[in-house]
Structure 1
């Protein structure tokens, strides 16, 4: 027997993280912020419990409104009427402030072509979607879902009549294609994703009809809906089967596929296929997003135009999005981006807008005709120091794997000075921990080893036997070499170069040489994956609800300090370093949490993970993350004042960017 799940998960239920704790009917129309549904008389929605409405005659007036540019295309015979482009029951989005005006160009800046983030943090659409502050999960592509009483089987309902941007139906066949022909294809997916493995067995996905899918797990999966709304659930929705089959070896004509591979300059079919679903780079792929890329990925500006078949409306029946197009101008790095944003060259942006520039933004906001919002973060910190525990240098590896070394680095860090110099005095010392509003926050772990105590730091290093020093006062390794770490960082998200400069001086006082160097992001990723870094830095992610993905606490994915152990975990032992000891124990506890339904037991198990992190200090936090600055033109509306910024809900896409609008006549 199955029970009907709600279409939104409330704060209480969300914090319980049990995806199948609540049952009941689900309302179709949900607000952008996860608030109350749209008014009953909204023209967009038929009664979800009633029969399908009869087809209207061609002469009947439309139930919906559309952008003038689309109405003109309909009149010219270039598009079908809006009623035919929308699903039977479009998703109704309640605007943050008011019903918007159609039209306008949203101007943004990007540091590279792929930095446009289209389909991710800009206009991203998940199967289910977190609301603006991460406290609810709402329906999105999935109209509703049911969960079996034992928590092992999830039945999802798509939106009948929903279409891809080329007008073709969006159906269960597309999601099934991703499962059968991407996830189960070893060329494309050498190791099945662990977030879809529970009780040691991968999920089994079946098509029940054109708009219904069943996900069946071997054991209860209490966290599944939470994870489905995160960045890991994103890929399921974006694979357009009728387009992608021409590049897939199971469907493509062999000669045509070979010709396309030759033209692309690749050796294997999966190299060609892998580039095709990317909405950031490929303007040819049909999408289900509010805007579709319409220029080649190397263009400047890069342009995305509205999707005429987008499947959402506002409460008055206006098809979304309101804005006609997004333009990205390319800039040379974070500093130039911030300078141009200060001068008023963006309409709305938070990507690469850094907190250290807030005084300049505030000083120039009247001249630039913009306002500055400060959003809370779902990240506990924007600076995590990742020591490489599997360093190729065997001497340095042994030093780093000694927790006393990690204790010393943390105690030798003057976080108060960093707070004042970099964060304008607005942060607090912290390790990598759940955020204070998380149900699993534990203060002893959060503040452990965050005091500035160079004497104690030196004592730990002496205890390790690192007592010999060179003429400049730096400690010597057991092999007689100077004790040095190369600190590599990418200058994009935070003032990591400034922090490196401060740490160079602070750690010299405990006898450690820090050599900092700024490198390109792609090179950073390559060196990280190749196990070539000594010390890297990145922001944390998802600590507001670590049950989504505990990357900061368990080496399952993107844990840079323990990345090689994550490779082992995700490859089934084919790659990386085999985890042992407390690292293995943390992984085993996480696997137990995935199948644990009781909320108190989940929290108790996660406390054990935090205890292991506190004892081992696998990675080192600096300070709590400052608020995320958001620069918004005064004529650019429906941007919430109280959004949350974090990777997992793909912020700011979770604020329903499709309902942003440019107030007519004021965009000057």
Structure 2
């Protein structure tokens, strides 16, 4: 039997947290930002706003300094939809990762997991939404009964993380502060899904959302709300007004450190502190320290230029390593600092042959491991590293980084040696021996071996790398052409099989542990560009796309299923290694360089921002793991 039981440092049943908060209240350390609200009686004093047992974040233990209230952080986003970064950065989760990528309670007071089949969650007494309404088990009950079980709101039957074996769990409210989810078989995907950058949603502010639900609202008022919000179905209204991952509805109560105050459309979004946020520092000071975030919308192509011109106090997205020199130079002109964090992706740039390509001749070639290996060995990664990354990256297959406990050198080294002779030999073995006058090989149907690699047009780095790869492949008789399109078009072309090959990032999570799902190594999503139709098949539970018909891919799918059915860590670890070995030996994605660095620009006055850290979407939630609510301005 495998049982995990976790609480926050013995706080349950003790008076530690209340005494901290009461002592803080005696010192009158209310944020100046909230004093008008306090005087007007719109919010209660801090001692009454916080949960009975708030989450205590010990700054000194984390190598940080306790901060002071105040200040506004300016940051730049590429479009209105990028306000979603605030949900990722805020990283307020039922259960989240700590800096060692172990699970810890956050919104929850504690949790208990038994054999990964029974999950019991304990809420914090007195916890409130940002509008002051109580956050209770009723918010879990509402989401379960009226959203997940609603055929109108959840026609597909619920997220795959809730029904990994086809069936939803049993949901129970045990008492006023306790809920439980029970599966017949292990569901090891549940906790990582709750801790992720876009967390699985299993609760919502029912007191607010019921006005948009046909079960609780009269038809006349519901029709008026639908007309006001320009939707034709009540389900679309509820989805629009409840979307927490992209906080476009300023009236939606939240548990995040900051809440949006700006309705769409807008060129600037203002997020202000949540007066009821559940974290405090060791001195009883309520987090976040920073009062406001202002997100200015700009063209993605000029974010780096604006950040380097002093228009941002904190910039991680929209800038890349090839902006580093320019951003670093800005330190001489503006009070900013630029740090370099290590990216967690399996490869900063990877070439992805589309195994679902509509062109039969190319599809058959791409499904040949020898062809994929030849493509990989023809590439001179040392040159790419030196030219594009100043030698600071690491030549590697698309796999986990040395920072992961699952790392093995043989995964990183699989078919990455620059060996044009061996690449030529493999291409000859595949029958590509005939050549045109200029040395380009001819396909079985007489066409020239011309590979068009498509990009989403979001990074000059991709273009620079492809210029180098073009020369490398030319040496083995393959011609490379590039085509640029927008991301949405790019992905739809991949799904239709129009794209032969794309350049994109490698696997998302290069610092995985055995307790994290290995779904990135098998077809699970329609945006996996090496097998989008197979990914869609998994995502839609067989309703769309097509089933994998390549034995090695079928084996990956089978191993993923085995991982999802065991509660034993050692068995999960073995499965991870089997999948990593198979994925890298088969070269399903052609990784080039990993361990690359990400510039993080910050105001020189902004404190508690790590100088070095891991950077990525999953599992670190970009800045989220490092708690921006603990950042503060010196001389605020």
Is the pair's TM-score, using the shorter chain for normalization, greater than 0.5? yes
Structure 2 contact 74–313 (Cα < 8 Å) conserved: yes
1:144 aligns with 2:115: no
Specify the alignment match of 1:654 in structure 2.
625
Mapped to 2, the partners of 1:624 and 1:582 lie a distance apart of: 25
Specify the alignment match of 2:609 in structure 1.
639
Deviation at 1:544, TM superposition (A): 0.8
1:567-646 equivalences under 5 Å are: 567-580=536-549, 581-646=551-616
Structure 1 contact 26–144 (Cα < 8 Å) conserved: no
Q: Deviations over 1:306-332 (max 9, x none)?
A: 112222222222222111111112222
1:6 aligns with 2:21: no
Structure 1 contact 383–621 (Cα < 8 Å) conserved: yes
TM-score by length of 2: 0.90
Mapped to 2, the partners of 1:583 and 1:358 lie a distance apart of: 39
Distance 1:479 1:433, change over 3 A: same
Mapped to 2, the partners of 1:652 and 1:250 lie a distance apart of: 39
CA RMSD of aligned residues (A): 2.9
Specify the alignment match of 2:81 in structure 1.
114
1:208 aligns with 2:159: no
Distance 1:119 1:531, change over 3 A: farther
Specify the alignment match of 1:44 in structure 2.
20
Deviation at 1:162, TM superposition (A): 1.2
Q: What SS class does the counterpart of residue 542 from structure 2 fall into?
A: coil
Q: What SS class does the counterpart of residue 331 from structure 2 fall into?
A: helix
Q: What SS class does the counterpart of residue 502 from structure 1 fall into?
A: helix
> Bigger shift: 511-520 or 345-354?
511-520
Distance 1:79 1:273, change over 3 A: same
| Counterpart selection for 1:280 from 228, 242, 247 | 247
| Counterpart selection for 1:410 from 376, 379, 387 | 376
Structure 1 contact 85–309 (Cα < 8 Å) conserved: yes
Deviation at 1:106, TM superposition (A): 0.2
Mapped to 1, the partners of 2:217 and 2:477 lie a distance apart of: 61
Deviation at 1:289, TM superposition (A): 1.0
| Counterpart selection for 2:523 from 532, 545, 555 | 555
Q: Deviations over 1:193-231 (max 9, x none)?
A: 333335554332222233211011212345643443123
| Counterpart selection for 1:78 from 28, 31, 42 | 42
Mapped to 1, the partners of 2:579 and 2:351 lie a distance apart of: 19
Specify the alignment match of 1:90 in structure 2.
54
1:436 aligns with 2:425: no
1:130 aligns with 2:100: no
> Bigger shift: 461-470 or 160-169?
461-470
Deviation at 1:232, TM superposition (A): 5.4
Mapped to 2, the partners of 1:70 and 1:563 lie a distance apart of: 49
Q: What SS class does the counterpart of residue 163 from structure 1 fall into?
A: coil
TM-score by length of 1: 0.86
Q: What SS class does the counterpart of residue 373 from structure 1 fall into?
A: strand
Deviation at 1:296, TM superposition (A): 2.3
Structure 1 contact 403–617 (Cα < 8 Å) conserved: yes
Structure 2 contact 394–593 (Cα < 8 Å) conserved: yes
Specify the alignment match of 1:34 in structure 2.
none
Deviation at 1:6, TM superposition (A): 2.2
1:154 aligns with 2:119: yes
What 5-or-longer segments of structure 2 have no aligned partner? none
1:291 aligns with 2:291: no
Distance 1:424 1:27, change over 3 A: farther
> Bigger shift: 155-164 or 308-317?
308-317
1:65 aligns with 2:29: yes
What 5-or-longer segments of structure 1 have no aligned partner? 9-24, 30-36, 47-55
Q: What SS class does the counterpart of residue 339 from structure 2 fall into?
A: strand
Distance 1:184 1:310, change over 3 A: same
> Bigger shift: 367-376 or 254-263?
254-263
| Counterpart selection for 1:242 from 207, 214, 236 | 207
1:220-619 equivalences under 5 Å are: 220-222=186-188, 224-231=190-197, 233-236=199-202, 239-276=204-241, 277-278=243-244, 279-334=246-301, 336-492=302-458, 495-539=461-505, 540-545=507-512, 547=514, 548-557=516-525, 558-580=527-549, 581-619=551-589
Specify the alignment match of 1:168 in structure 2.
133
Mapped to 2, the partners of 1:392 and 1:250 lie a distance apart of: 46
Deviation at 1:274, TM superposition (A): 2.8
Q: What SS class does the counterpart of residue 628 from structure 1 fall into?
A: strand
